[in-house]
Amino acid sequence: MKTFVSLCAWSIGCFCHLALAAPDISTADHTAPELQALRASAQHSQEIWGLTEQEWAKFGSLQTGPRRYWSPQLDPLTTLGVEAETDQERQRYAELQVRLEAKRAERELAYQKAYTQAWAKLYPDLMPIQGMATTASTASQTATRSALFVKDDCDSCMNAAKHLQDQRTAFDLYLVGSDGDDDSVRRWAKAAGIVPANVQRRQITLNHDRGRWFSLGALGSLPARFEQVDGQWQRIE
């Protein structure tokens, strides 16, 4: 039986933005230098998002209404897009956001490549554990991957990992009950025959579970393999 879990329960990789509230610049409460600094800050923020002064003001106004409570962490482009009154406006904000996120993905991929090369140079015999880099798992976000949940003392778990590796399947391995111990994850991967080179080039990633298995319902026994289908996580039997 296939189990569907909402993507909101657990996200391996998606883009997240911090909402930037447009400042309310009031001449009554600020000195001239303070006003100048606030206006400069507002102009800089609107330019970062590619917005006009009027659009930035509209975003600030929306942040004082119901949208502030419905979606408190929504970024300016998404906020304006979902509140757009015409198809032309909606399309403009969508295109601005796609361009901005494409630049972000390009920068993160470039850094991830540099990080992978640095790891291979400095620690060629040590398999990296996810979370040791400061960036998100960009490689996991840009390709269709499986998520494999395993545990210690589980022969079928090791067989499942070996099978996926032999099939050259890109997957993210999660050790349930690792308690944040990197050495435990490495020992498990070594015992399962995970090739270090596959980890270094991110064909396979090694991860602490950190409660993800339970966030997916912890249904059935381990190993458990999941894939994302239509925005939801589906267990593959």
Domains of the chain, with CATH numbers?
16-122 (no CATH), 138-236 (3.40.30.10)
The answer to pTM > 0.75 is no
**Given this model, what pLDDT does residue 235 score?**
87
Distance, CA of 67 to chain centre: 23
**Given this model, what pLDDT does residue 73 score?**
77
Q: 3-state class of 146 per DSSP? A: strand
Nearest to 100 by CA among 205, 6, 201, 20: 20
Nearest to 180 by CA among 129, 134, 219: 129
Tens-digit pLDDT profile for the chain (237 aa)? 433 333 333 333 333 333 344 444 444 455 655 545 555 555 667 678 889 989 998 988 998 888 888 877 788 998 999 999 999 999 999 999 889 888 888 888 788 788 778 877 887 777 766 654 433 344 444 457 899 999 999 999 999 999 999 999 999 999 999 888 899 999 999 999 999 989 988 899 999 988 888 877 777 789 999 987 776 778 886
**Given this model, what pLDDT does residue 22 score?**
45
**Given this model, what pLDDT does residue 86 score?**
94
In 3-state terms the chain splits into helix, strand, coil percentages (rounded to 5) of 45, 15, 40
